[in-house]
Homo-oligomer: A and B are copies of this chain.
Amino acid sequence: MTNNAGLDLTFAACAHPIRRGIIERLGVGEMTVGEATAGSGVSKPSISKHLRVLEEAGAIVRVIDGRTHRIRLSEHALDDAQGWISDQHALWERKLDVIEGYLAEQRARRARDDLPTEEGPV
């Protein structure tokens, strides 16, 4: 089984609409916490909790400039999650390739067996 605490945290970070919303907004660049969460209709303590989940997952970085807290996406924010999902798709593709290869071989064999040859019986 895949024991990877980093993946646990990244996927959990993505599993809430408020946190996905923050990630989406930060796509355009660094901003204040207020800008990144405006209109979410969520209390400040709740926002702080969501930000902590994102920070612990390594998805965002907090930049403290005097009294202003700004946040931005970390450079490789979702790379591990994307990597794991891509690996799974690659495995499934390989499985389909094997099945397709087997079917093609069966078809070729059947076609060969149906063909009369000079050496074999007709």
Contact = CB atoms under 8 A, between A and B. Distances in A.
Contacts of A14: 7, 11, 81, 84-85
A48 interface: no
Q: Is the interface of A mostly helix, strand, loop or mixed?
A: helix
What is the oligomeric copy number?
Answer: 2
Interface residues of A, number: 36
A11 B8 contact: no
27 contacts: A1-B17, A1-B20, A1-B24, A1-B39, A1-B40, A2-B17, A2-B20, A2-B21, A2-B24, A4-B17, A7-B14, A7-B17, A11-B12, A11-B14, A20-B84, A23-B88, A27-B88, A27-B92, A28-B91, A29-B95, A78-B85, A81-B81, A81-B85, A82-B82, A82-B85, A82-B86, A85-B85
A54 interface: no
